[in-house]
Amino acid sequence: MLDIYKRDGCCIVRGVFSAKDAATIRSSAGEVYQHIIGSKAPKVGANTLHLSDVAKQSPAWMADFVVWTVRRFIESDAMGLYRTLYGDEVVFPLLKCIVRFQRPDHTLSFLPFHQDADPANHGTHMVNCWTALDPCGVDAPTIEVVKASITGMRQDLFVYESLEKAGSVWREKLAAVQAEFGRFGTERPVFHPGDGCIFDHFALHRTYFTESMTKPRMSIEIRAANAAEYEKTFGKVDRIDHRGRLFLH
């Protein structure tokens, strides 16, 4: 797994969550959406729930859902790569961990190729495990990641903001991104519920869809960093530590 991650900047991990656990997360997330916005299937383009917000909701079962989900991740094979990168000093900043409901009929909500690295704090390394909670890649939108070695990644791009916010600057950066495709290629996985893709915070990625993808998709993103490094940059934040303990501020 580590060799593939270093070579491609991303790696596919089958069964991050078991089919049963993925179904439980999917169902529980639907209940969270129902509680917060009044619908299990949001009708806008992309509905994103930050787990820090979910954990602070009433009733208390929502915090239990967040903790249970991250603890299941800690028990997964994907956690092995996180430990390889950060040792036992793994922390899950809940503001950066999200559930997302994506409808394919709202293409304007699809964020173009972008990086997770924050231009202001890019020295704080993070990895993300993007995990499908619905079948995707055939009938529903999946994720597309530009494959590039860790050493060859474009750390000067910082395609971070949406097109509407960045305007012409984003278009210039997009041209630089597109110039890399022929050299690296992209990963467009077909996923069963519970399958995931781990990628570096400099990896360029986006939602991938075609006209044949007519079904909605829910996914969950579990981001992690080195605990000491993250706290040094951002202070004490809502988080779950490597033992699965919840800390809210």
- Provide the domain count of the chain: 1
**Domain-embedded: residue 249:** no
Tell me what pLDDT residue 22 has: 98
Helix axes 19-37 and 61-74, enclosed angle (nearest 10): 150
> Is the pLDDT reported for residue 192 higher than 90?
yes
pLDDT at 161: 58
**For residue 135, pLDDT beyond 80:** yes
The answer as to whether 245 is a domain residue is no
Over pLDDT 70: what percentage of the chain? Answer: 90
The pLDDT value recorded for residue 23 is: 98
What mean pLDDT comes out for the span 156-161? 68
Residue 78 lies in a domain: yes
pLDDT given at position 13: 98
Flag whether 17 is in a domain: yes
Those residues whose C-beta lies under 8 Å from the C-beta of residue 216, and which sit 6 or more positions away, are: 41, 101, 102, 103, 104, 134, 140
Mean pLDDT comparison of 75-79, 120-124, 171-175, 207-211, highest-scoring range: 75-79
Is residue 244 situated within a structural domain?
no
| pTM of the full structure | 0.93
Angle between helices 78-86 and 61-74 (to 10 degrees): 80
Distance from C-alpha of 121 to C-alpha of 18, rounded to nearest angstrom: 34
CATH number at residue 185: 2.60.120.620
Is 246 contained in some domain? no
Average pLDDT over residues 212-223: 95
145-154, 168-177, 192-201: range with lowest mean pLDDT: 168-177
How far apart CA 112 and CA 115 sit, in angstroms, is 10
Q: Is residue 22 domain-resident?
A: yes
Domain membership flag for residue 36: yes
Average pLDDT over residues 150-172: 67
The overall average pLDDT reported for the chain is 89
**Whole domain around residue 168: which residue ranges?**
2-239
Q: Which residue has the tokens 């991650």?
A: 5
Q: 162 falls in which pLDDT band (50, 70, 90)?
A: low
